[in-house]
Amino acid sequence: MSMLLEVSGVTVTFDGFRAINNLSINFAKSELRAIIGPNGAGKTTFMDIVTGKTKPDEGTVIWGDRNVSLLGMSESQIAREGIGRKFQKPTVFEAQTVRQNLAMALKTPRGPFAVLMHKKTKPNAERIEAVADQIGLLDSLTRVAGELSHGQKQWLEIGMLLAQEPRLMLVDEPAAGMTPEEREKTTDILKEAAKTRAVVVVEHDMEFVRRLDCKVTVLHEGAVLAEGSLDHVTSNQTVIDVYLGRAHA
């Protein structure tokens, strides 16, 4: 099976601290994956490397059908390759409507004139409505984003990522601060998205990870400690010692 992203032997040191230590991790073209681990395990640094924010000291990061290296690319080049990232805090345009937020995110020519000339073409309108439907905000297209609940803002931001048509979505703690109903809806959105692309969710909330019902990678001290189903990794004694025991302490 050909991989979408292959991270091999990657190491990153900050001021003598090894944030990532000989990390190797692969993702298929369409899969849902959860990444868990204690604070300082390297989860954020891993996302920073894949998106070009942090350059590793050694190792390779190989992407896509053409097997290109992401390491020589800028953050914007990597974004154009089809890697999208959603941070923990939603960053929607509060004063704009849901429709306008999604329109700005659409995968269209990106120059300043293209944005000014952004015409309400039928395919664009249909794409916006399809994404809005996928994130449960079809009835809210004319609402100003600032009025949305925390959960709805998170969905809108996931929608803005989907509108860019990424091949890999990195999503940081989407369940934080959500109501149980919102979390359930978020699970559905991410599962649906992962049918046509790779979706990687970094999450602390075990109940949410269980609901995702996907392969789980446990990071510890910048390396993969265990990988498999949630039941498989949570029955691993080392995982219990370094992560779960601490989480429940």
% of the chain residues with pLDDT over 70? 92
User: What's the rounded mean pLDDT across residues 27-55?
Assistant: 95
pLDDT (0 to 100) of residue 44: 93
At 123, is the pLDDT very low, low, confident or very high (cuts 50, 70, 90)? confident
pLDDT at 115 over 60: no
Predicted confidence at residue 22, as pLDDT, reads 96
Record the tokens describing residue 132, joined without a space. 């809005």
Residue 116: its pLDDT value, please?
Answer: 55
What is the rounded average pLDDT of the residues 113-131? 75
The amino acid present at 17, given as its one-letter code, is: F
State the pTM of this model: 0.91
pLDDT score of 192 more than 90: yes
At residue 89, the pLDDT reads 77
pLDDT for res 249: 41
Under the banding of pLDDT at 50, 70 and 90, the label for residue 36 is very high
Tell me, what's the pLDDT at 20?
Answer: 95
Between 116 and 18, the higher pLDDT residue: 18
- pLDDT confidence band for 2 (50 / 70 / 90): confident
Average pLDDT over residues 219-247: 89
Domains of the chain: 5-248 (3.40.50.300)
pLDDT at 247 over 60: no
Residue 40 pLDDT: 87
By DSSP bridging, strand 58-63 and strand 223-228 are: unpaired
Model confidence pLDDT, tens digit, residues 155-190: 999 999 999 999 999 999 998 889 999 999 999 999
Mean pLDDT score across all residues of the chain: 91
pLDDT exceeds cutoff 90 at 82: yes
What pLDDT, on the 0 to 100 scale, is given for residue 63? 97
Which CB contacts under 8 angstroms, 24+ apart, belong to 37-43?
Answer: 37/218, 37/219, 37/220, 37/225, 37/243, 38/220, 38/242, 38/243, 38/246, 38/247, 40/221, 41/219, 41/220, 41/221, 41/222, 41/243, 42/219, 42/221, 42/222, 42/223, 43/202, 43/219
> For 74-91, what is the mean pLDDT?
89
